[in-house]
């Protein structure tokens, strides 16, 4: 009597558009999804992307990539996932016109939709700032997915609810041609700043540790050193003596900016890590105890990158602004992992 053969599970393969330094790719890999390639126009992304992930980096403009090229990367029988986080600056709080759709960056979602139509992947995932859904390019993107037979689930997720030690909120979309799909459910356990970076060795402003190229902090001017010394965790510049306050703090408009020149708290997730996270004056980026801004390694860990994730090859490649941009623009890997696990669970439910 023959034993019924089990249906062989298909591999899940992904291509990461606008891949940056590899945050989303890292998360998908950790979820068990094979990422074949990442595409980005920023050449600074090549080293961190390939040094940390078993995937190929393609330096190219997504607008010049064809679906035929992407199809060559997927195995014929694989479940195909097309992922991407188009640059979010056009959709941030500074983009006040929700109907505006001109400009090259605004058109990147159109290019994403074009590639979806050309490739017809089984699953699509997109991540961006929460305000993206208010703008015409996103509405056109979602309409294109539905027109091509995709079931769409989308909403704003709080990164801290998925283990990221940071109060970042991101808009996440999952779309599937296989059947209805849902967003990942939040976890119960959150991580604080102290749990994430409290174990790292102390560093003085302007100094570096000998073991980790990224665990260095920018120097502080004499007045900013006095300001951070007068700052308390979770406080504001209102805690300072009057002579340390900047002229903008005395204006009516400046008085509303309370989360600049400020320290983080040990007992809570960090605020949103931005591309300016290495500057004490651009946000709540002061270390909870030490008189300095957070280091680039601390910023990367607060984005949920592994503590050994490499962003540059050596000292000659070290530039604060470049590395901070790569870190701040990244999809938090733990958010990417949650999305990847959700995709795997969805495919398992559909295909058995």
The SS3 assignment for 58 reads strand
Q: Please check whether residue 105 is in contact with residue 132, taking contact to mean a CB–CB distance below 8 angstroms.
A: no
Write down the residue that tokens 């990539």 correspond to: 65
CA distance 242 to 111: 52
DSSP state string for 266-301? TTS-B----TTTT-GGGSS-B-SSSSSBPPHHHHHH
| CA atoms within 13 Å, Cβ hemisphere of 302 | 35
| CA atoms within 13 Å, Cβ hemisphere of 140 | 16
Question: Is 248 one of the catalytic residues?
Answer: no
Q: Name the catalytic one among 88, 159, 248, 277.
A: 88
Q: Please check whether residue 38 is in contact with residue 16, taking contact to mean a CB–CB distance below 8 angstroms.
A: yes
What are φ and ψ of residue 239, in 5° steps? -80, -10
| CA atoms within 13 Å, Cβ hemisphere of 43 | 1
The SS3 assignment for 16 reads strand
Token code pair at residue 277: 């996270």
Q: Which helix (H) or strand (E) holds 40?
A: strand 34-40
Token code pair at residue 305: 């990158």
Characterise 32 by phi-psi region: left (phi > 0), alpha (psi -120 to 50), beta (else).
left
Closest CA to 207 of 263, 290, 308, 317: 290
Strands of 123-128's sheet in order across = 56-59, 34-40, 12-17, 79-84, 123-128, 169-176, 151-158
Token code pair at residue 302: 């607060």
Residues 6+ apart with CB under 8 A from 98: 134, 135, 136
What are the catalytic residues?
88
């Amino acid at each position: 009597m023959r034993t019924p053969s089990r249906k062989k599970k298909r591999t899940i393969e992904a291509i990461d558009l606008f891949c940056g330094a590899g945050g989303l790719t890292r998360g998908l890999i950790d979820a068990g999804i094979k990422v074949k390639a990442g595409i980005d126009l920023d050449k600074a992304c090549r080293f961190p992307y390939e040094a940390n992930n078993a995937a190929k980096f393609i330096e190219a403009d997504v607008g010049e990539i064809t679906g035929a090229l992407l199809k060559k990367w997927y195995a014929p029988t694989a479940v195909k996932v097309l992922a991407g986080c188009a640059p979010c600056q056009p959709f941030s709080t500074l983009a006040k016109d929700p109907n505006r759709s001109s400009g090259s960056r605004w058109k990147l979602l159109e290019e994403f939709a074009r590639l979806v139509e050309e490739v017809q992947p089984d699953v699509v995932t997109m991540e961006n700032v929460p305000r993206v859904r208010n703008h015409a390019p996103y509405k056109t993107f979602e309409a294109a997915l539905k027109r091509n037979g995709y079931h769409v689930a989308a909403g704003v997720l709080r990164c801290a609810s998925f283990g990221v030690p940071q109060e970042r909120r991101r808009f996440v979309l999952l779309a599937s041609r296989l059947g209805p799909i849902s967003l990942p459910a939040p976890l119960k356990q959150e991580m604080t700043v102290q749990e994430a970076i409290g174990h790292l060795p102390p560093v003085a402003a302007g100094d570096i540790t000998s073991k980790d190229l990224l665990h260095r902090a920018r120097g502080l001017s004499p007045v900013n050193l006095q300001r951070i010394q007068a700052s308390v965790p979770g406080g504001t510049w209102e805690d300072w003596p009057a002579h340390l306050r900047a002229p903008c703090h005395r204006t009516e408009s400046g008085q509303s900016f309370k989360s600049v020149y400020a320290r983080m708290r040990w007992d809570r997730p960090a605020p949103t890590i931005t591309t300016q996270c290495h500057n004490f004056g651009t946000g709540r980026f002061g270390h909870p105890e030490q008189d300095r801004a957070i280091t680039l390694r601390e910023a990367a860990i607060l984005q949920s990158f592994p503590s050994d994730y490499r962003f540059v090859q050596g000292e000659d490649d070290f530039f604060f602004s470049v590395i901070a941009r790569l870190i701040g623009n990244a999809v938090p890997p733990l958010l990417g992992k949650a999305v990847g696990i959700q995709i795997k669970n969805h495919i398992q439910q559909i295909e058995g």
